[in-house]
Chains A and B, each alone.
Chain A
Amino acid sequence: MSPILYAATGAVLVGIGVFGLLARTHLLRRILAFNVIGSGIFLAFGGLGSRGPGSGVDPVPQAIVITGIVVALAATALAVTLVTRLFEETGAVTLPGEHPAEGPDAS
Chain B
Amino acid sequence: MTAALVFDLSLCLLIAAVALAAVLADDLFTAIVLFIVYGLLAAIAWVRLDAIDVALAEAAIGAGLTGLLLVGAAARLGGRGAPPAAGRTPWRLLGKAAPAALCVAAAAALVVLVLALPDDAPGLRPLVAETIAASGVTNPVTAVLLNFRGYDTLLETIVLAVALVGVWSLTPDRDWGSVPGARQHARPDGVLATFGRLLPALGLLVAAHLLWAGADAPGGAFQAGTVLAAVWLVVVMAGVLPAPATADTRVRLLLVAGPAAFLGFGAVGAAGGVFLGHPAGAAKATILAIETALTLSIAATLGLLVLGVPRRPA
Q: Are B114 and A78 in contact (CB under 8 A)?
A: no
A24, closest chain B residue (CB): B23
A14 to B129, CA, bound (A): 32
Distance between B118 CB and nearest chain A CB, rounded to angstroms: 8
Q: A7, A15, A67, A103 — which one has the most chain B CB atoms within 10 A of its CB?
A: A15
Instruction: Place the interface of chain B in its size category.
Output: 35 or more
Given contacts A46-B54, A64-B152, contact A39 B70 (CB under 8 A): no
- Which 7 pairs of residues, A with B, have the shortest CB-CB distance? A15-B107, A11-B110, A74-B163, A59-B140, A20-B23, A56-B50, A63-B144
Interface 1/0s, chain A 22-33, versus B by CB < 8 A?
111010110111
Chain B stretch 55-72: residues in CB contact (< 8 A) with chain A: 57-58, 61-62, 65-66, 69-70, 72
- Which residues on the B side are within 8 Å of A66 (C-beta)? 53-54, 57, 141, 145, 220, 222
Distance between A40 CB and nearest chain B CB, rounded to angstroms: 8
Distance between A18 CB and nearest chain B CB, rounded to angstroms: 5
Q: Are B81 and A28 in contact (CB under 8 A)?
A: yes
Q: Are A13 and B58 in contact (CB under 8 A)?
A: no
19 contacts between A and B (CB under 8 A): A12-B110, A15-B103, A16-B103, A22-B102, A24-B23, A28-B77, A32-B70, A36-B23, A39-B39, A46-B46, A51-B120, A59-B125, A60-B123, A73-B61, A77-B69, A78-B163, A81-B166, A101-B83, A105-B91
A105 to B160, CA, bound (A): 39
Q: Are A39 and B141 in contact (CB under 8 A)?
A: no
Q: Specify which of A10, A71, A93 is in contact with B159 (CB 8 Å cutoff).
A: A71
A69 to B56, CA, bound (A): 11
- In the assembled complex, B115 has its CB within 8 A of some CB on chain A: yes
Interface 1/0s, chain B 86-98, versus A by CB < 8 A?
1101011001100
Distance between B313 CB and nearest chain A CB, rounded to angstroms: 18
